[in-house]
C-alpha cells in the first residue's frame, strides 16, 4: 500500500474511531486514577515510605494498563472483523487489502494503544501526593480530576453533569472503602 493510501486509511480510522478513542481514554484514565488512589490511601495509612507508595501505584497501573490493552485488542479485533464481514456481505466483494481493511486495522491499533496507555494518567495521584504530602488533598484533587473526566465523557450537558457526579462519587467511595479496609486490616509498615 502506498504512503498516500496509508495516510488516507489513517484519516478514516481517526474519523471513524474518534468517539471510541475518547471513551477509551476516559475509561482508562478513570481506572488508573481509582487504582492509584486506592493504593495511595492504603499505603499512606500504613505509613509506607514514598518509594513503597510509588512502587505500589506504578505496579497497579501496569496491571490495569495490561488488562485494558489485552481486553481492547481482543474486543476490537472481533468487532472490526465483524464490521468488515458485514460490509463485504452487503457489497458481495472481499475488502482484504483495501483502504477500508487498512483503516479497520489502524483503528484496532489506535483503540488498543489509547486504552492501554490511558491508565497511566493515574500517575497524577503520585504527583498530587508528592507535592502536597497530604492524603486528603490528593483525594480531593483526584476526585476533581475524575469529575472533569466525567464532564467531558459525552452527551448533553445534563448527561455530562450526571457523569461528572458519578465519577466524583466513585473517587470518594474508593477512598472511603480503602480507608475502612486499611484501618480494619492494615498495620503500620516498619
Q: Which of the residue ranges 11-20, 55-64, 105-114, 178-187 would you say has the lowest mean pLDDT?
A: 178-187
Where does residue 145 rank: exposed (0-12), middle (13-18), buried (19+ CB within 10 A)? buried
Q: Could you list the residue range(s) of the whole structural domain that residue 14 is in? A: 3-133
pLDDT tens digits for 25-79?
999 999 999 999 999 999 999 999 999 999 999 999 999 999 999 999 999 999 9
Instruction: Assess if residue 148 is contained within a domain.
Output: no
Instruction: Find the distance separating the first CA and the last CA of the chain, reported in whole Å.
Output: 60
DSSP-derived 3-state class of residue 86: helix
Biggest CA pair distance of the chain: 69
Instruction: Assess if residue 142 is contained within a domain.
Output: no
Identify the band that residue 189 occupies on the pLDDT scale cut at 50, 70 and 90.
Answer: low
Instruction: Assess if residue 76 is contained within a domain.
Output: yes
pLDDT tens digits for 111-166?
999 999 999 999 999 999 999 999 999 999 999 999 999 998 878 999 999 999 99
Spatial contact of 119 and 68, defined as CB atoms under 8 Å apart: yes
Q: How far apart are CA 157 and CA 154, in angstroms?
A: 9
pLDDT given at position 177 = 97
Instruction: Assess if residue 186 is contained within a domain.
Output: no
pLDDT tens digits for 83-103?
999 999 999 999 998 999 999
Backbone angles phi, psi at 95, to 5 degrees: -110, 10
Give the chain's mean pLDDT.
Answer: 94
Q: How many helices (H) and strands (E) does the chain have?
A: 6, 0
Instruction: Assess if residue 185 is contained within a domain.
Output: no
pLDDT given at position 176 = 97
Q: How far apart are CA 124 and CA 115, in angstroms?
A: 17
Could you give the number of structural domains in the chain? 1
Q: How far apart are CA 95 and CA 152, in angstroms?
A: 35
Q: How far apart are CA 1 and CA 97, in angstroms?
A: 8
Identify the band that residue 5 occupies on the pLDDT scale cut at 50, 70 and 90.
Answer: confident
Instruction: Assess if residue 49 is contained within a domain.
Output: yes
Q: How far apart are CA 166 and CA 160, in angstroms?
A: 10
Under DSSP, the state recorded for 154 is S
Spatial contact of 122 and 28, defined as CB atoms under 8 Å apart: no
Q: How far apart are CA 127 and CA 38, in angstroms?
A: 15
Instruction: Assess if residue 165 is contained within a domain.
Output: no
Amino acid at each position: 500500500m502506498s504512503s498516500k493510501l496509508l495516510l488516507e486509511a489513517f484519516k478514516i480510522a481517526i474519523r471513524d474511531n474518534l468517539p471510541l478513542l475518547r471513551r477509551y481514554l476516559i475509561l482508562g484514565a478513570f481506572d488508573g486514577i481509582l487504582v492509584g488512589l486506592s493504593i495511595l490511601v492504603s499505603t499512606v495509612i500504613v505509613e509506607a515510605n514514598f518509594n513503597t507508595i510509588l512502587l505500589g501505584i506504578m505496579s497497579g497501573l501496569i496491571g490495569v494498563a495490561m488488562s485494558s490493552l489485552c481486553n481492547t485488542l481482543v474486543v476490537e479485533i472481533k468487532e472490526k472483523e465483524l464490521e468488515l464481514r458485514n460490509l463485504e456481505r452487503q457489497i458481495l466483494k472481499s475488502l482484504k487489502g483495501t483502504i477500508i481493511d487498512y483503516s479497520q486495522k489502524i483503528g484496532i491499533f489506535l483503540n488498543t494503544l489509547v486504552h492501554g496507555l490511558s491508565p497511566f494518567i493515574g500517575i497524577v495521584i503520585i504527583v498530587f501526593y508528592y507535592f502536597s504530602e497530604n492524603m486528603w488533598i490528593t483525594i480531593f484533587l483526584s476526585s476533581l480530576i475524575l469529575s472533569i473526566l466525567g464532564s467531558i465523557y459525552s452527551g448533553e450537558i445534563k448527561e455530562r453533569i450526571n457523569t461528572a457526579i458519578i465519577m466524583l462519587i466513585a473517587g470518594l467511595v474508593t477512598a472511603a472503602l480503602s480507608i475502612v479496609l486499611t484501618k480494619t486490616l492494615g498495620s503500620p509498615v516498619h
